[in-house]
Amino acid sequence: MMNFTSHSPAETEKIGAQLARMLRPGDVVAFRGGMGAGKTAFTRGMASVLSPDAEVASPTFALINDYGGKVPFWHFDMYRITTMDDLYSTGFFDYLEMGGILAVEWSENIDAALPDGTIYVDIRITGEEERAITIGSRKGGGAG
Amino acid sequence: MKILALETSAKTASAAVVTEGKVLGVTSVTAGLTHSQTVLPLADALLKGVSASLQELDGFAVSTGPGSFTGLRIGISAVKGLAQGLGKSCAGVSTLEGLAWNFQGLSYTVCPVMDARCGQVYTSLFWVNGGAPQRLWEDMAISLEALREKLQSVEGDVMLVGDGAELAFSALSGSGKVLLSPPALRYQSAASVGFAALARFAAGETVSPAELLPAYLRLPQAERELLAREAGKKG
């Protein structure tokens, strides 16, 4: 379990980049934390390492952004995913087996379908610009 | 009659050219690449290898599900495009039925099982009596427990086949009536899809490219809605 305090989106990005350097093909990074917590900033930081040319944006409507990269990096937004059929039809289970790295926003919505070994990134809003970020292998990290 | 069959419902992409009672050629790739990159070059190389042109084929076959969402769509789209362009007919073969065709010519009650996650399986039942598989159950998505109950009413031993066969075998072997298929006959095969399709073509049960559709099996309502509720429990 690792705890970080971020004071700006730029700092959140740096923490994302730090995590990205430790990831291996097949890893799933699942975000927990509401609107405006900095999930996309964190993902942008990850992409700066995994897929430097990518333009990162939250895939709210596309559901999945494919950023390419030497090890493929995919960005999911599960905000509108509520059933197993929804999830199946995003191709999520296929991506799990394709040896890339997945960053999953609103992972709360698909908790039951996250694989063993998922890395949870819990981002809590603790001030206007301040965020408490917990990275660990257990659901709900330092939040509870 | 010569048919090109594609099988892309799981990790392996494969293509086969079959004719009555004979596999003319089969190619397969399990390389972690997306099937969209592999399946057409695979089919192209295969046709060259068996010295057949697309034009001289009598039709196309593809497994239509259940299986990988993107895999199924790639295989079905490829066949739709080829058949539409050439004005030929298609046969869509249930992935589970295709698995039962691995046992064509043998004598077993065959139960294809595919892992549908969350303790659920895609399954069906076929009776193979020295010839073509005869369907006993519709394709369905049920829990392993429900499958165990359903198998109680089946007479004799049941041969488990498919990527969920091992899972089902360890869960059901206590009931004493299940057999685990040999690895060489356990997984999806484009040749088997082709043989199933030959029977469809012979019976005149083909479809137009437009009528060819994926058959994703839906999980029971409770399991479909399980996603976030589980979260509450575990969290």
Domains annotated on chain A, with CATH: 2-143 (3.40.50.300)
Q: What is the pLDDT of residues B89-120, one digit of tens each?
A: 999 999 999 999 999 999 999 999 999 887 88
Please spell the DSSP secondary structure of B171-204, one letter per residue.
HHGGGS-EEEPPGGGTS--HHHHHHHHHHHHHTT
Predicted confidence at residue B228, as pLDDT, reads: 63
Residue A139: closest CA among chain B residues belongs to which residue? B235
Query: Which domains can be identified in chain B, with CATH numbers?
Result: 3-96+188-217 (3.30.420.40), 103-185 (3.30.420.40)
Predicted confidence at residue B118, as pLDDT, reads: 76
In whole angstroms, give the CA distance from residue B179 to residue B186: 12
What stretches of chain B show up as alpha helix (H) in DSSP?
Answer: 35-49, 69-86, 95-100, 144-152, 165-172, 190-202, 221-224, 226-234
Q: What is the pLDDT of residues A57-76, one digit of tens each?
A: 999 889 999 999 999 999 99
Instruction: Write the residue in B34, B224, B234 that is nearest to A85 by C-beta.
Output: B224
The whole-angstrom distance between B93's CA and the closest CA on chain A is 20
Both structure tokens of A63 = 């559901």
The whole-angstrom distance between A65's CA and the closest CA on chain B is 16
Half-sphere exposure of B103 (CA within 13 A, CB side): 29
Residue B217: closest CA among chain A residues belongs to which residue? A85
Predicted confidence at residue B30, as pLDDT, reads: 86
Contacts of B8 in chain A (CB under 8 A): none
Strand partners, A123: A133
Q: Which of A83, A35, A122, A115 is nearest to B228 (CA)?
A: A83
Residue carrying the six token digits 């495009």: B81
In whole angstroms, give the CA distance from residue A60 to residue B90: 37
The whole-angstrom distance between A120's CA and the closest CA on chain B is 12
